[in-house]
Amino acid sequence: MLLISCPYCGDRPEIEFTYGGQAHLVRPADPSALDDQQWAEYLYMRTNTKGVHAERWRHARGCGRFFNALRDTTTDRFAATYKIGAARPDPAASEPTPGTAR
């Protein structure tokens, strides 16, 4: 069970959260202006990142807020969590340090 830092409530167990898929997808302002291919791109095409992935989570059983997170899909390590609307942070700048290797 992951420990996820809600930008509002702080560290909470994964059971309080729901996963919301890839982050930073913006619904087109006028979908009708898109051709079928462009609409399909928006609707279905997702990255399948190995490594740091920007994704949405919702603190569904807590404050109810959606937020974004940078998570390394190979290690489950969260580099950052940030509020909806905020720019994607630089993961290198805020990477937490795990236990020292011994």
Partner 1 sequence: MSVWRTPGGGRIDRTQRRKFRFDGRDYQGVAGDTLASALLANGVHLVGRSFKYHRPRGLLSAGAEEPNGLVTVRRDAARVTPNLRATQVELYEGLDALSQNRWPSLQFDVGRINDWLSPLFPAGFYYKTFMWPKGAWKSLYEPVIRRAAGLGVAPTEPDPDRYAQCYAHCDVLVAGGGAAGLAAALAAADEGARVILCDEQNEFGGALLSDPQATINGAGGQAWVDQALAELSANPRVTLLARTTAFGYFPHNLLGLNERLTDHLSAPPAGRARERLWQVRARSVVLATGAIERPVVFPGNDRPGILLAGAARTFLNRYGVRVGTRAVLVTAGDDAYQAALDLHAAGVSIAAVADLRPQAEGALPTAARRAGIEVLTSATVLGTLGGLRVNEIVLGELDGTGGVRRKRTVRCDAVLMSGGYTPSVHLFSQSRGKLAWNEPLQAFLPDRSAERERSVGACRGIYDLAGVIDDGFAAGAEAASGRSGRRRSVSAHSAGGDGSAFLGAVPLAGASSDKSFVDWQHDVTVKDLLLATREGFRSIEHVKRFTTTGMATDQGKTSNLNALSIVAGALEVPIPQVGLTSFRMPYTPTTFGSFAGASRGDLFDPVRKTPMHDWAATEGAVFEDVGLWKRARYFPRGGEGMHEAVARECLAVRSACGIFDASTLGKIEVVGADAAEFLNRLYVNNWSNLAVGRCRYGILCREDGFVYDDGVVARLAPDRFHVTTTTGGAARVLAMMEDYRQTEWPELAVWLASTTEQWAVIAVQGPKSRDLLQGLVEDIDIGAAALPHMSVAHGRICGVPGMVMRVSFSGELGFEVNVPADYGLGVWRAIHARGEKDITPYGTETMHVLRAEKGYIIVGQDTDGTVTPDDAGLAWAIGKSKADFVGKRSLQRASMHAPMRKQLVGLKSRDGRTILEEGAQVAEIPGQKPPMRLIGHVSSSYYSACLAHPIALALVAGGRARMGTTLYVPMPGGDIEVEVVPPVFYDPSGARIHA
Partner 2 sequence: MLEPLARIPPAFSSTSWMNPLPPATRLLFFADRAARAAAAGAFPMPVTEEACRAHADGARACLWLGPDEYLLLAPAEPGAARVQAALTAAVGPLPHALVDISHRQVAFEIHGPLAAQILNGACALDLDPAGFPVGMCTRTALAKADVVLWRTEVHRFHVEVWRSFSPYVTALLTEIAGALPAAH
C-alpha dist (Å) from residue 98 to 5, 21, 30, 74 = 16, 26, 45, 15
The entry of partner 2, partner 1, none near residue 86 (CB within 5 to 8 angstroms by kind) is none
Sole binder of partner 2 in the list 2, 18, 19, 61 (CB under 8 A): 61
| Closest distance to partner 1 from the beta carbon of 90 (Å) | 22
Contacts of 14 (CB under 8 A, 6+ apart): 1, 2, 3, 4
Q: Exposure string (b/e) for 9-21, b if CB count within 10 Å is 16 or more?
A: eeebeeebbeeee
User: Which lies closer to partner 1 via its Cβ, residue 10 or residue 64?
Assistant: 64
What's the min distance (Å) between Cβ of 58 and partner 2? 11
**Closest CB to partner 1 among residues 36, 93:** 36
Residue 45's binding partner among partner 2, partner 1, none (Cβ under 5 to 8 angstroms by kind) is: none
